[in-house]
A and B are shown apart, each in its own frame.
Chain A
Amino acid sequence: MKNIDSTSHVRGESVYLDDIPLVEGTLFACVYDSQIAHGILKSIDTTAAEQCDGVVRVITANDLVGENQIGGIVPDEPLLADGEVHFCGQPIAIVLATSEELARKAAHKITAIIDPLEVVTDPRVAAARESFIVPPKKFILGDTTAAFAECEYVFEGRTEQNGQEHLYIETQGAYALPTENGGIRVYSSTQGPTAVQRAVCRVTGLPMHKVEVDVQRLGGGFGGKEDQANAWAGICAVATQLTKRPVKYALHRMEDMRMTGKRHPYSSDYKIGLDKDLKIVAYEASFYQDAGAACDLSPAVLERTLFHCTNSYYVPNVTATAYCCRTNLPPNTAFRGFGGPQGMFVIECAIAHAAEKLGIAPAEIQRRNLIIDGDQFPYGQVAESDAGTSWTQAEQKYDLARLEQEAEEFNTSSRWLKKGVAAMPVCFGISFTKTPMNQARSLVHVYTDGSVAVSTGAVEMGQGVNTKMAQVAASMFGLDIGRVKVHTTNTLRIANTSPTAASAAADLNGKATQMACESIRTRLFEVAKDLVEAASIEDLSLRDGLVYSRGEKTSLEWQTLVLEAHLQRVNLSEHAHYATPGIHFDWSTAKGHPFAYHVYGTAFVGVTVDCLRGRYEVDYVKCCHDFGTSMNTAVDNGQMEGGIVQGLGWVTMEEVVYDKDGRLRSNALSTYKVPDIYSVPKKIAIAPLETDRENLAIYNSKAVGEPPLMYGLAGYFAIRNAVRSFVLENGGSPEVPFPAFDLPFTPEKVLTALYPEIALAAQSGS
């Protein structure tokens, strides 16, 4: 089953925000944003901009009718800067003009006087000043202090991880239109229609029932449009409120890159203790998260770092502490994995450190510590684990020992090219860790011609959620998928939605759709029972557009049944609500059962490093992954390949560069590099984990959006192993761990690691 949007995509007929036909009188917005990362906003001069051709109005904080606030978890983010600026790229004023070009040109004419204050871009500096957005959070299992005393080996170290630009190819944007009685309709490129609705209501002072948010689809989201679509919708809505005209703002790429937050950089400390059998007995970690200048979703991201701090391993004694540090960067935000990858990276570094010191392969430690059924995660949930199965099946299928041996043999006969191999088990929990968010609704209409319309809270952004929704309805009604249309995500049809995030949209909205279809189907069966003279509705089923009775085809067609039901005044619509059962979490004890289930898997990654030039290629990613029972292998494999490559991009070439003044230097596609077709692994092999376990996923088809990204981490360790092989072969005896754990592993860091002495000499010489 292909993605139902494929045809309109390849014909260029799918509609994105910037493709919506314009309403007469539409104005175009452009934001004037701060060029100073931290300072007192003394004054704003908009006179020159107001006199520009085509300019209708310039809006600053004082003009807002509602509250100047868009912060979700913590109210610390004004829509427009007022009094102070806290990051470069913070919106200060909105220019409205009759064309996009004129608005942009006029925005350049605005000036602001800002008295600069000290700029902090390092989360450790913020932590030293206790500049935290929320109080530190802690997970404790067992007693690490006592356990370390008993350990055979104890290693301590530090890791750095940089951010990641989402680089959805469609930039952020919104289009607001006035509706009667002072209402506003907003088209938004958002993963969170309700979040947009709330933000719009707050800044306009309107009640939620007067604001409609509609989302057709996104040209990519990856978390970047979960919370950060709010500002642009708020800006357009405020402008519409003040001018009574439609207002559109589709951001220029460079505006998008400098004004929006990214994946959180982390600086972390670890301490790992093992017994003589290489069992991890104790683990401590401190995570310093660079949250940026405002809260955004940072605390939730931070929590997931803690949830995944031991990855797929069982560690009986754990103390993990996480700090949400306020700096002067744009507020960092959700990004596929949502803090999970950051947590996993640190324990993988700790394991690599131990292995390098002990002179063994990290896999020796990894495989001995995989969590098994009945083990407890640090947050109290008891594992139903496929960590070991996925590792074993990956080994059976791809033979890690042989891969390692091949690399070693290659390396002995090659002077400049060196191969490296690494393994990465992944265990990722599915559910929003904030339990109340695990709910969804679906509205299903069956029309009298037999066609079916589905609306849910899920937003289509390429992940194929609409295809899965259509599959659910089609299979419930026994129809060809062409009879089902999944409509826009709209807050009038589906209220109070959770964002499409946490890999959970297909599960939550799919289950709701299944329930809605089930109710309609039951009512239809009551009608059909008499028509086909069945004894009970239990005998009835729907298949190929026909009613079946006790598995036998009847002459009653779906369309006839639907029409008959309508004539009998039977309700052909249903609005169903689903809430994930059995999940709970108590932050006062930091224990509970937050996840509906976990997704497991194991990947082996091989790379070749050109040690003359410091560049590298990924030879393969071989992976055994837990899909449950995939309801759409085309869609799910696409998520796998895309996630793996995005993860590899994060650990290799994707480098977010801010200067010490908090200005983004990697501010365009010419300076921020995501994988192109030549930098992806030469081979990606994916074997589904063979399992019959039941789970809470829709049709047993487990969530697949985020987990594969974390396989990409193995790319880092594989490059590291190749680099170490070259350095050791050439007589180097660097102190372990070598090289320093520092993401991303750019060609610069690779070459510098390959030639540490020369790099050092150049540094002192220049």
Chain B
Amino acid sequence: MISFILNNTDIRTELPPGMTVLDLVRYQQNLKGTKIGCREGDCGACTILVGELVADEVKYRSMTSCLMPLANAAGKHIVTIEGINPEDGSLTPVQQAMVDESGTQCGFCTVGFVMALTGACLDGTARSPESAISAVDGNICRCTGYKSIERAATRLSGSSRSCGRVVPEYFSNIAGRLRELYEIDNGIESTRPKTVAAVVGGGTDLYVQRPAEMAETDSRPLLYDEKLRGIREVDGLIEIGGSATVTDLLESPVMQAAFPKLYEHLKLISSTPIRNMATLAGNFVNASPIGDMTVWFLALDGELELAEAGGSVSRTLPLRSLYLGYKQLARTPDELITAVRFKKPAAGFRFNFEKISKRTYLDIATVNTAMSLTVDGATIADAHISAGGVAPVPLYLMKTSAYLRGRKADEETVEEAQTIAQTEISPISDVRGTAEYKRLLLRQLFRAHFVEMFGI
């Protein structure tokens, strides 16, 4: 039994927990406003809002319903366009802005944009034109060329008042209703399926890779497991729960303090709705050779905490020791990644993340790389470099990192390190680029690290 609120209706359903929210809303609930464009989280036509009770308030986030298992809807407020539409047939300020600026042509992607912008108005993201536009970074429109949508988003930005009443009156009762749902069900756990056949984080990889299989699997959702979500400082370390999403990182004061360019870097990673769903642990265990967060944490020389599901025993493992070969991991099937830890940046710490893909944003990397250095005067005291897309696994560049330690950050060092890095990689040609290009790219991105950190 899964319980949640869909628009203004309480839902208790025995439907398979692995079924996507998209299929539920369109084909079980006959809410046809949510569209299907790609079923892999890459177009945003199926964007919905998911409201979660956080400290007595409902926090709404945009998500792609095509990748969201029903299990992850448990205890949430699921909002589709039908739950936004004013009953008298009029338009919300978001809808009106899209109409006034001609932000809709064929209309098929439009609802996704409306939902994403509504979410941005609800959570205050739409404070500036840039941030309002960032709310639709996961929405593809093939007709308009986006300029009209930019104008609509810009119109909605500025003072929060300009968003006005973007949702109907019933939203004001949702917090209470979610709390009630929680209490009736004696804690949110019981609203979730009991049987466990698969562990799902945000579902953003699993539902792309094997959608049919996942739809029939009793999945255990981790996305909203509070115990696994915190970001905190402990004994000179920063510790992040395995279920933390990329958005959690972005919004964390601890992370913002540690990484001044946090937003600039994480903006390169997928899109707002995917960042709202994708978990760190999911990115690590997916073991993609180009996993962005994996590459990020490899360069922080992160350490994992692994625990058996439901068990109390845990062990630690350096992230770089997790990868044995292509999609082969040094963990048992029952082990979950419960946390990742890394040394809290101290004086002399420098960090840079680079990613190149065919499309700069909302794309999978051809090559990505991160580098963290501890600099003492003119000398590199410590160095950790990672690279994705250049080997069967996300790579920790052991030799290059070792070479840099104790060197001066100068032209000679950059060139020698570039050469060493080339010996550590073994890229292959695929749809994202030829092997030669990936070699050239890593060379250039290595240079980019030094340009960004030292201006050389």
Chain A interfacial positions (CB closer than 8 Å to B): 2-3, 5-16, 18-19, 101, 104-105, 166-171, 217-220, 222, 250, 252-253, 416, 461-464, 612-615, 634-635, 637-638, 641-646, 653, 655, 657, 665-666, 668-671, 673-680, 684, 746-748, 751-752, 755, 758-759, 762-763, 766
Given contacts A169-B43, A653-B358, A676-B361, 20 further A-B pairs with CB under 8 A are A6-B102, A8-B107, A10-B110, A11-B89, A12-B82, A13-B85, A16-B108, A168-B106, A169-B37, A217-B107, A220-B142, A462-B106, A641-B145, A645-B147, A653-B359, A665-B431, A669-B38, A670-B42, A678-B361, A755-B444
A contact residues around B147 at 8 Å (CB): 641, 645, 680, 684
B91 at the interface (CB under 8 A from A): yes
Instruction: Out of A2, A12, A671, name the residue touching B34 (CB < 8 Å).
Output: A12
A contact residues around B437 at 8 Å (CB): 748, 751-752, 759
B445 at the interface (CB under 8 A from A): yes
B contact residues around A168 at 8 Å (CB): 106, 108, 142
Instruction: Out of A166, A217, A462, A748, name the residue touching B433 (CB < 8 Å).
Output: A748
B150 at the interface (CB under 8 A from A): yes
Interchain nearest-CB distance for B85 vs A (Å): 5
B104 touches A3 (CB 8 A): yes
A643 touches B108 (CB 8 A): no
Interchain nearest-CB distance for B443 vs A (Å): 7
Cα of A105 to Cα of B136 in the assembled complex, Å: 34
B336 at the interface (CB under 8 A from A): no
A3 touches B361 (CB 8 A): no
B105 touches A675 (CB 8 A): no
Nearest 7 A/B pairs, CB to CB: A12-B33, A462-B106, A219-B108, A9-B107, A645-B145, A462-B105, A669-B42
Cα of A755 to Cα of B439 in the assembled complex, Å: 12
B441 touches A751 (CB 8 A): yes
B contact residues around A612 at 8 Å (CB): 444, 447-448, 451
B444 touches A613 (CB 8 A): yes
Q: Specify the chain B residue showing the minimal Cβ separation from A641.
A: B145
Kindly specify which of B92-100, B275-283, B374-382 makes contact with the partner chain. Answer: B92-100
Cα of A639 to Cα of B62 in the assembled complex, Å: 29
Interface mask (B218-249 → A, CB under 8 Å = 1, otherwise 0): 00000000000000000000000000000000
Whether A755 contacts B37 in the complex (CB less than 8 A), given A2-B99, A676-B137, comes out as no
Whether A253 contacts B435 in the complex (CB less than 8 A), given A637-B102, A646-B145, A762-B440, comes out as no
Q: Specify the chain A residue showing the minimal Cβ separation from B104.
A: A9
B356 at the interface (CB under 8 A from A): yes
B395 at the interface (CB under 8 A from A): no
B contact residues around A614 at 8 Å (CB): 356, 441, 444
B330 at the interface (CB under 8 A from A): no
B174 at the interface (CB under 8 A from A): no
Kindly specify which of B162-170, B179-187, B337-345, B362-370 makes contact with the partner chain. Answer: B362-370
Whether A170 contacts B106 in the complex (CB less than 8 A), given A675-B359, A746-B358, comes out as yes
Find the residue from A12, A644, A646, A674 having the highest chain B CB count within 10 A: A12
Q: Specify the chain B residue showing the minimal Cβ separation from A764.
A: B436
Interface mask (B116-143 → A, CB under 8 Å = 1, otherwise 0): 0000000000000000010011011111
Q: Which of B40-65 contact A (CB under 8 A)?
A: 40, 42-43, 45
B111 touches A641 (CB 8 A): no
Q: Specify the chain A residue showing the minimal Cβ separation from B94.
A: A10
B39 touches A253 (CB 8 A): yes
Interchain nearest-CB distance for A377 vs B (Å): 30
A253 touches B444 (CB 8 A): no
Instruction: Out of B85, B102, B142, name the residue touching A634 (CB < 8 Å).
Output: B102
Q: Which of B411-456 contact A (CB under 8 A)?
A: 430-437, 439-441, 443-445, 447-448, 451
Cα of A642 to Cα of B146 in the assembled complex, Å: 8
Cα of A668 to Cα of B358 in the assembled complex, Å: 14
Cα of A416 to Cα of B451 in the assembled complex, Å: 10
Q: Specify the chain A residue showing the minimal Cβ separation from B112.
A: A169
Q: Which of B311-344 contact A (CB under 8 A)?
A: none
B359 touches A673 (CB 8 A): yes
B148 at the interface (CB under 8 A from A): yes
A contact residues around B441 at 8 Å (CB): 613-614, 751
Cα of A674 to Cα of B362 in the assembled complex, Å: 10
